[in-house]
Amino acid sequence: MKKTIATLLPLIAATLFIAGCSTYDKGPYRPQQSKTPAYENTDPVVLLDPGVQRSVTTTGIQARTLDDGRLEVIAQFRNRENRRIEVQANCVFKDLNGVSTGDETPFQALILTENATEQVRFVSMNNQAKRYTIRVRQAR
């Protein structure tokens, strides 16, 4: 009995040592590719939820620079369903390179009745904004 324990003890220790070494982290890794494209970098409007994607469409966007240099964006959203829905929209203002200027509007509630079109207006806080991304999500 003592002989069996004495022979198994080094075997158990070696197994634990090998198992411990196999979990060693071997260094830096490259970032994983996202399964969805980076729409917020390329598209002016991004729908954040599958329900919003099914229910809401954009019928027009107008952007203009105000007299003081700030960017004003007016977006028209249309309800594609025969029921009343509530969504939220915000705007992230960006510079010419597409980098956020730190100017992001709070989410605004938008109630869309059956097949209705409503407008939402966003104005940047400073004159650095040249591009934008409007994000729309389902109201909770």
All structural domains of the chain: 42-138 (2.60.40.3230)
Measured CA to CA, the distance from residue 68 to residue 79 in angstroms comes to 34
Measured CA to CA, the distance from residue 50 to residue 138 in angstroms comes to 9
Over range 80-101, report the average pLDDT. Answer: 93
Measured CA to CA, the distance from residue 98 to residue 50 in angstroms comes to 25
> Helices marked H in 43-111 — which ranges?
50-55
Evaluate if residue 34 carries a pLDDT over 60.
yes
User: Which pLDDT score is estimated for 40?
Assistant: 80
Half-sphere exposure of 16 (CA within 13 A, CB side): 6
Rounded to 5 degrees, φ, ψ at 13 are: -65, -40
Measured CA to CA, the distance from residue 103 to residue 92 in angstroms comes to 6
Confidence category of residue 9, pLDDT binned at 50, 70, 90:
confident
